[in-house]
Amino acid sequence: MRKLPMVLAVRQVHPRFFGEITGADLIGEPDENLRNFVEQAMAEHAVCVVRHSPISDEQHLRFARLFGPLELPPGYAERKAASVRPRIAPEMFFAGNIDDDNQIIPPKPPSQDIGAGAQRFHADSSFNPQPSKWSMLRGVECPPSEVGGDTLFADMRAAFDDLPPEMQQRLEGLTGIHDFWKGREYAGLTVSDSMRTRFRMPPMEHPLVRTMANGRKSLFVGGHCTGVKGMSEEEGHELVEWLYRHTTSDQYVHRHQWVEGDIVIWENRCALHAATPLNTSEYRRDMRRATVNESGREMDAYHAAGITGASLTD
């Protein structure tokens, strides 16, 4: 009997954003119909979960490349050239508590854990010259939601829409300063001079207000945005922290509880995300992310920016 094609559909699960896509076939070769459907769903909802049975890293990457060139993780070339096949595809970023030997890594206190900065709302790679377009995070092994490991998302478009007109006008034309290390300090990490020297990551500048392809305007702040060009450090930080608190207030936030096989796609240019802590060694968490850039060729974004140092966790 001939297998009927699945019907693509999307429903909004939060009053302001976040769509749930069903009927996507990521096992077979992706086609133009799937690409167009997902592009339209993302333009509307900013964050979408693709409900799917488990897929391979290769199928995940093939799906991601429908939408633009990949941002490759730091150390990609070394991982790809290694004689021993890595546990995950070298093109993928890893988020979880599993080491290279497939063992659970015990939790660290936030002051010693670079990755703990991901628990503050942020846009991936906003500290790069070219902010990422989309991130696609896949749940390979997901602990029960009650022990942690959910992901929170915030809609920066809705947050901009609800600002008073005079504040919207004030923000247009202002430039935010995105500083990886200051952002990590604000998240509670103890940052040493040797860390800054070893991982040279200069601050980057991006507009505080972006206009999306569909004409909708969005804030562009988050945990890496630490100041405003032309303002004193204190004044700029006060403004971006006010915007951060506004954007991450409850009415703009959706909590995603992971199910194995989920792929959540978020539009980094108008949505923030934050991890919730998994403070236990009892459960495994294996999450793999493909990141899509706006344009250009596939490359390690740190190298493209002239940033030196070993791998970091965003």
- φ and ψ of 51, to 5 deg: -80, 120
Domains and CATH numbers, the chain: 9-304 (3.60.130.10)
- Model confidence, pTM: 0.90
Per-residue pLDDT, averaged over 276-305, amounts to 85
Tokens found for residue 26: 């990521």
Highest mean pLDDT (candidates 80-84, 89-93, 107-111, 299-303): 89-93
- Who has greater pLDDT, 238 or 100? 238
DSSP labels for 155-207? Answer: EHHHHHHTS-HHHHHHHTT-EEEE-HHHHHHHTT----HHHHHHSB---EEEE
Strand order in the sheet with 204-207: 204-207, 175-178, 225-228
Average pLDDT, the chain: 89
pLDDT tens, 201-250?
788 999 999 999 899 999 999 999 999 999 999 999 999 999 999 999 99
Nearest to 93 by CA among 104, 83, 105, 79: 79
In whole angstroms, what is the distance from residue 149 CA to residue 136 CA?
16
pLDDT tens, 48-96?
999 988 999 999 999 999 999 999 998 888 888 887 778 899 999 999 9
In whole angstroms, what is the distance from residue 207 CA to residue 13 CA?
29
Tokens found for residue 196: 């800054």
Per-residue pLDDT, averaged over 264-286, amounts to 94
Nearest to 177 by CA among 211, 121, 220, 142: 220
Tokens found for residue 28: 């077979």
Indicate the range of 56-70, 110-124, 129-143, 262-276 predicted with least confidence: 110-124
Do residues 127 and 225 touch, judged by C-beta distance below 8 A? no
Neighbours of 296 (CB within 10 A): 12
In whole angstroms, what is the distance from residue 180 CA to residue 305 CA?
13
Per-residue pLDDT, averaged over 158-179, amounts to 97
